[in-house]
Structure 1
Amino acid sequence: MLECLPPPAPHVVAMKLGGTISASELQKAIDAIETAKRDHDRISMVAEIDGLRWMTLTALLKDVGYGLTQIGEFKHYHRAAVITDQEWIKHIAHLEEKLFKAIEIKTFPPTERQAAMDWVSQLPNGQRETPEEDGYHGA
């Protein structure tokens, strides 16, 4: 199961993952990421992971294929928060942080969900959302 969640900020893509992920569910997440990249210079992601077991073979191939297309696109990503109590997921997140140095990746236990949302909502170097998104409509 993979479902998109309401994001804590306009530049954030939020999702919840658990059980088995299908290719069609993964495609919805990819579409949300691509939409966010079109609308924002830098995006962040948050993944709440609970009871994740595996992906279908088709989903795994789609995930690897999409990941390969993103190699030159890291400039679009700022942060990724992973909310989980699954140790193997934490280890993968820490490995990815070392491999993909352009993206800050941090894990949070489920009890610190709000801290994860606050952290991932921060924009790089004090940037702001566009005036329309932050409620400012000019003077």
Structure 2
Amino acid sequence: MSVPVDPGSQRDGFEHQDANVKVLLIVGFGIFATLLVAGFGVAGLLWWYDLKPDKPVTALERTVGKPPEPRLESDPRAGGTGVTTDGLALIEHYGWVDRNAGLARIPVDRGILLLAERGWPSRAEPEAGQPTPREQQARGRAQP
């Protein structure tokens, strides 16, 4: 669909007619009025909701009880700091694990140095003719 073009506008290369200011002002004021009415509507609803009385509080809502276990920590950093401190004490200091059995704990750094000096412990090789632990397990399963 073609729109007729003014011959003078076509000759000059630009449109000689301006936009209709009256229509643009009416549309602008219409949008402004719509926003104003919507704003007053929202303000009225908020005012109306504030006038409504609050629902009565039940006895169950009034009682203050502790939630069931496990409860959240009130200070999570303190708990984490305690765990970190205890863990560092275990891996950085000497101590007994079981004194009666003669089982002790050594610091990790010292254990690494001892392993570097002595090497990794290996299993004792079975003597000729003796079954290995795996062979003993296999025989145990094969018997009814």
> Normalising by the residue count of structure 2, what TM-score does the alignment of the two structures yield?
0.20
Higher Rg? 2
If asked which structure has higher relative contact order (CA below 8 Å, sep 6+), I would say 1
Would you tell me which structure has more strand in proportion to its own residues? 1
> Normalising by the residue count of structure 1, what TM-score does the alignment of the two structures yield?
0.20
Would you tell me which structure has more helix in proportion to its own residues? 2
